[in-house]
Structure 1
Amino acid sequence: MLKKLIIVFLSIFICQFAHAAGVSLGATRVIYPINANQVTLKVYNSDNEGNYLIQSWITDSADKKNGDFIITPPLFVMKAGLNNMLRVVYTGNRENLAKDKESLFYFNSKVIPSTAELAKNQNALMISTTTKIKLFMRPNGLTIEDALEAHKKLKCSYQNNQIKIENPTPFYLNLVSLRVNNHDVSNAAMIPPMDSVLLKTSIKGPSLLFNVINDYGAQIKDNICTL
């Protein structure tokens, strides 16, 4: 039997299900209106016995840490069975952000078992996990009503052995379970605003069927884009 405590640190990035260990985030994405002073995100600890150390930070779309955001508290102990509120404040120059479309960042939260919890069991395999969810900076004038309807404006077409999906809207659109003639062509696709993606497939059909994840993290199922 092992005499010493073994600690293994793993980085696990979870986008659709925002949880790690006994700790979960109160949302699967963060919408930050560009003119807001701050946004908040709730953190829950469903473990009635374990305490965890929580560390949070923001990265850009290239996964580099972004110093234009402040998260309060950036590091704290999450007590068993309790919840806490994180404040996210953008301190950068808003003039540097796009005015006509969303900008993408990522909220990262690392969950580390506290040293007190580790000391209780000398023969344990403890895991540190990191949850990563999208954070969208949304310009003025872009309403949630427009965001919820944006997927209806997608344009789809065949290009050789590829399906081109065009997003003419100012919103990031997150599609999952993309199917043609009841055959999967992709598990997921995030289409940037005013941009397009190509999906390789030899499957032909009259339309692309997909689910879309909305602002609330819910899946709106069986949407149709004519090919």
Structure 2
Amino acid sequence: MKGQKTAMVVLLGSLAVGLVNEADAAIALDRTRAIFPGSEKSIALNITNDSTSMPYLAQGWIEDAQGKKISGPLVVVPPLQRLEPQGKSMMRINALPDAASLPQDRESIFYFNVREVPPKSDRPNVMQLALHTKIKLFYRPKAILPEKYSRWDNQLVLHKVSGGYRVENPTPYYMTVIAITAAPKVAVPKGFQTVMVAPKSSAVVQSGQFATPHVTTINDFGGKPTLPFRCSGNVCRAEVPKS
């Protein structure tokens, strides 16, 4: 899945300002989020130059949770490379020894960035934009690696509060809530703000309150599963499907 490209830095999944037509973008990334398992020393992300006529440089780096560029515990290799027209390559994210100092009972969040750098134009008075893709990068310690296709959105707990719900996340994983609706396949109300809930914490999601709230999250694969929640008083828990 290709990430959105913008002339300004835009986090995938959030409201984009100044979007550039996708046809104008060259360097494409193969995903919208990345998971770094603590059992691995590196992971690879595939990139493609979609331009049919021009080579581009691809520059990659990692930012911390505050958006500050960092040089560890995760680094991008190579930080800069050239892709020929319609060329394919990869960027590796390597773990340095200080990755062992990250919390081992929960995920840590970083951001992977890739910027395309176009060749210098030989035409005068041409403004060139270095388009930039930014995705979430989760470092997942070895101790909490789940079985393949596991889910944990069913462990969330909703608490009714003024203006919406306080979403409790007892899991060691980041959970991103992208919708709370009255039923599945219902349009998300205009102005709904996506909320990422950190591990073992809670966050307030502004929304309507429903007899059976349906919560939509984003999973490891970029999918958007929806679960119904049953409420007892002010507390709502996921309805476990019957086997």
Question: TM-score with structure 2 length normalisation?
Answer: 0.78
Deviations 1:121-157 (A, max 9, x none): 4354422121111111111132343774111111002
The aligned amino acid for 2:218 is I
SS at match of 2:199: coil
Which one of the candidate residues 17, 33, 36 is aligned to 1:29?
33
The aligned residue for residue 151 of structure 2 is: 149
Which one of the candidate residues 95, 100, 104 is aligned to 1:95?
100
SS at match of 1:170: coil
The aligned residue for residue 195 of structure 2 is: 189
The aligned amino acid for 2:78 is P
Q: CA deviation at 1:32?
A: 0.8
Q: CA deviation at 1:200?
A: 3.0
The aligned residue for residue 163 of structure 1 is: 165
Structure 2 stretches of 5 or more lacking a match?
1-5, 15-21, 231-235, 237-243
The aligned residue for residue 206 of structure 2 is: 200
The aligned amino acid for 1:32 is F
The aligned residue for residue 18 of structure 2 is: none
- Say yes or no: does 1:38 pair with 2:35: no
Q: CA deviation at 1:87?
A: 1.1
Which one of the candidate residues 214, 218, 222 is aligned to 2:223?
218
Contact 2:104 2:143 in 1 (8 A): no
The aligned residue for residue 233 of structure 2 is: none
Q: Give, in whole Å, the separation in 2 of the partners of 1:190 and 1:147.
A: 20
Between Structure 1 and Structure 2, the one with more strand by share is 1
Deviations 1:28-57 (A, max 9, x none): 111111131111111011221122121110
Contact 1:154 1:167 in 2 (8 A): yes
Structure 1 stretches of 5 or more lacking a match?
1-8
The aligned residue for residue 8 of structure 2 is: 11
1:54-203 to 2 correspondence within 5 Å? Answer: 54-68=58-72, 69-115=74-120, 118-119=121-122, 121-122=123-124, 124-145=126-147, 148-180=150-182, 184=189, 186-201=192-207, 203=208
Contact 1:33 1:138 in 2 (8 A): yes
Q: Give, in whole Å, the separation in 2 of the partners of 1:187 and 1:207.
A: 20
Cα RMSD after superposing both structures: 2.4
Q: Give, in whole Å, the separation in 2 of the partners of 1:36 and 1:79.
A: 30
* Relative contact order, higher structure (CA 8 A, sep 6+): 1
